[in-house]
Structure 1
Amino acid sequence: MSTAPIPPVPPDWREANRKMWDERVPIHAGSDFYDLDSFRAGKDALRPFEVAEVGEVTGRTLLHLQCHIGLDTLSWARHGAAQVVGLDFSEPAVETARSLAGELGLGPERAAFVAADVYDAAQAVPDSSYDIVYTGVGALNWLPDIDRWAETAASLVAPGGFLYLAEFHPLTDCLDDATGSRIVHDYFSREAWVDETPGTYADFDAATVHNRSVEWQHPVGSVVSALAAAGLRIEFLHEHDASLFARFPVLKRGSDDFYRYPQDRPRIPLMYSLKATRPA
């Protein structure tokens, strides 16, 4: 494990990221990528492996950290969770999620949404603990301190409950963008990655103004160790050879809508998932 000192965090990281996400909420809500019309009609936003690994949620409470516009959160309610709570630092995202919940006939007693920083979740959410604390893909890279995240998330897991995380594999951030075959970046780097690219993954051509973003790479070992140090027991760590989007041009879309390397290419993990429980 790297013992290099942690580089300084850009002082505007939170505000820059918030402005970036606030601006992209209406773009995402109107995009084919999120396809809210299909979601309203009943399409499940969750990935099949998440549903299988989390298991039965009927009658359980679930907290979704960094929920964006709430599609995954509301999908867990559709799967039978007694109450879901989504938390995100973007006010427009939370407003959109609340609106969607209302359209689906899910009142705040079934689906509540809170606007707050994830590090402040313990003080912001309505209950002190939940049967399931869930974090979906594309979340951890926006946080500079993975230990603080783990402590916060673990504190919200009820005795006998668990945290479930699905995330893009950090190894993919080490590879060259053109081929996805050469290691060109340091896997253990703690440097902030500052980007100014306009548009968004849901619409690359969207005209945007707030383009500065600040991200971090967190090795899988750091995530697992942080959760264990926070008092949770790791039940499993699964690595997946598929991605939700064409992270590299060489990836091919399969019949299941996941993207993978061609059969003549060696595979690497593109995503991972883990479950960590709190003893009863």
Structure 2
Amino acid sequence: IQLARHLSEQLRIPAQFIHANIYDLPGHLDGEFDVVYTSYGVINWLHDIEGWAEIVSHYLKPGGTFYMAEFHPFMWVFEQEGEDLVVRYSYWHSREPSYYEVQGSYADRDAFIENRGTYEWAHPISRIINSLIGAGLTLKEFREYPYSVDEIYSNMETGDDGYRRFKRKDYQLPLMFSVKAVKPA
């Protein structure tokens, strides 16, 4: 956050950076916005997807747009064994998180991380979309993609377009998705 604030000042780009639990955000940030965005690798850290959708709706102006680009939850059911993918995890949501030991971080896979444990929740596509609809948003577009912005598995390769795909052409799986929704005016 300090670095972001420093860059904002240095580049003379006005911005506000807040460090808060998403569910506590209404106590730290006022206002409504034209656009609310959720980026890659967010929802698996959230235990209450319906609460997240309510926060999204809370901050959208009437007529405002919500956009989300995220890794497809289906891809998290697999574990790589050699060049193959094997089903290891549930696609369906559970109140209890899954616990994993990880190497490195999403930003640097070789980084030393003292606390390597991570707790994550699965949220199927239907639950994500229905939580947004339940929070009063109107779904405008839903897309799935057979490629990824990140090398999720080591049996992937980078194409000329910069996206990662499985080396095995028979692995045509959804790896990312996007959602566009609006808050009715």
TM norm. shorter chain > 0.5: yes
The CA deviation string for residues 158-209 of structure 1, in whole angstroms up to 9 with x for no partner, is: 0010111111000011112234533232211414121233421332232222
- Return the alpha-carbon distance in structure 2 between the equivalents of residues 135 and 180 of structure 1: 31
Residue 18 of structure 2 corresponds to residue 104 of structure 1: no
| Larger proportion of helix | 1
Equivalent residue, structure 2, for 1:204: 109
Instruction: Within 5 Å, give how 1:134-153 maps onto structure 2.
Output: 134-153=37-56
- Return the alpha-carbon distance in structure 1 between the equivalents of residues 62 and 131 of structure 2: 18
Q: Which amino acid aligns with 2:157?
A: K
Equivalent residue, structure 2, for 1:123: 27
Equivalent residue, structure 2, for 1:255: 160
Question: TM-score, with normalisation over the residues of structure 2?
Answer: 0.91
The runs of at least 4 consecutive aligned structure 1 residues that moved more than 3 Å come to 179-182
Residue 184 of structure 2 corresponds to residue 270 of structure 1: no
Question: TM-score, with normalisation over the residues of structure 1?
Answer: 0.61
Asked which structure has the greater RCO (Cα within 8 Å, sep 6+), the reply is 2
3-state SS of paired residue (2:18) = strand
Q: Which amino acid aligns with 1:122?
A: P
Residue 139 of structure 2 corresponds to residue 234 of structure 1: yes
- Return the alpha-carbon distance in structure 1 between the equivalents of residues 90 and 168 of structure 2: 27
3-state SS of paired residue (1:154) = helix
| Larger proportion of strand | 2
Q: Which amino acid aligns with 2:162?
A: D
Seq. identity, %? 34
Give yes or no for contact 1:116–1:124 (8 Å, CA) kept in 2: yes
Equivalent residue, structure 1, for 2:100: 195
Give yes or no for contact 1:180–1:248 (8 Å, CA) kept in 2: no
- Return the alpha-carbon distance in structure 1 between the equivalents of residues 45 and 84 of structure 2: 22
Q: Judging changes above 3 Å, is the alpha-carbon distance between structure 1 residues 266 and 208 closer, same or farther for their aligned structure 2 residues?
A: closer
- Return the alpha-carbon distance in structure 2 between the equivalents of residues 223 and 201 of structure 1: 22
3-state SS of paired residue (2:69) = strand
Structure 2: gaps (5+ residues): none
Match of 1:169 among 72, 97, 101: 72
